[in-house]
Amino acid sequence: MLTDILIQVAIGAVPLGVAYLAFRSATDANRKTHQTALLQVERQAELERSKVDAEAFLRAKTIYEDALDQLEKQLTRMQSQAAQVSTDLAEEQNASTAMRDQIRRLQAQIRALDRTVVTLRTQLLAAGLSPAPTSETTGPYQLRHPPQE
């Protein structure tokens, strides 16, 4: 009788052990399924973040490229303006040099004319004639104008 009870308990324990193992397997499978689902959600969230980051990067890249294009255009305009200013400066320097040369020539002519006036005055005095006073007819670098009567 004790043996029969032990056999019945052993026979009853086998389904309980199988049920326990089935419960453990189901629980492990459920946990793994839940973990897999969480990993998939995390991967999906990471994928969405990457997608948003990629879109933001493309927008920023477009903005920066447009800004770079505008800066390059401004640089080209500035270089063109600098070249024009340089050309204008060279022309002005050439004109200034030409004017200084002309002023030197005119000053040389005035000095030569002053020497001629002095020579002619000396000749008039040597001939016994009285030349016109200097203050009436000439001053430094003035043209002669005959007196109006």
pLDDT digits (tens, 9 = 90+) for 37-69: 999 999 998 988 888 899 999 999 999 999 999
* Residue 36: pLDDT over 50: yes
Q: Is residue 50 part of a domain?
A: yes
Q: What is the mean pLDDT of the chain?
A: 87
Looking at the domain assignment, is residue 121 inside a domain?
no
Does residue 35 form part of some domain? yes
For residue 137, is pLDDT > 70? no
Cα separation of 63 and 5, whole Å? 85
Number of domains in the chain: 1
Range of the domain at 76: 10-91
Least confident of 61-70, 74-83, 140-149: 140-149
Q: Return the SS3 of 146.
A: coil
Which pLDDT belongs to residue 118?
93
Q: Give yes or no for a contact between 119 and 131, defined as CB atoms under 8 angstroms apart.
A: no
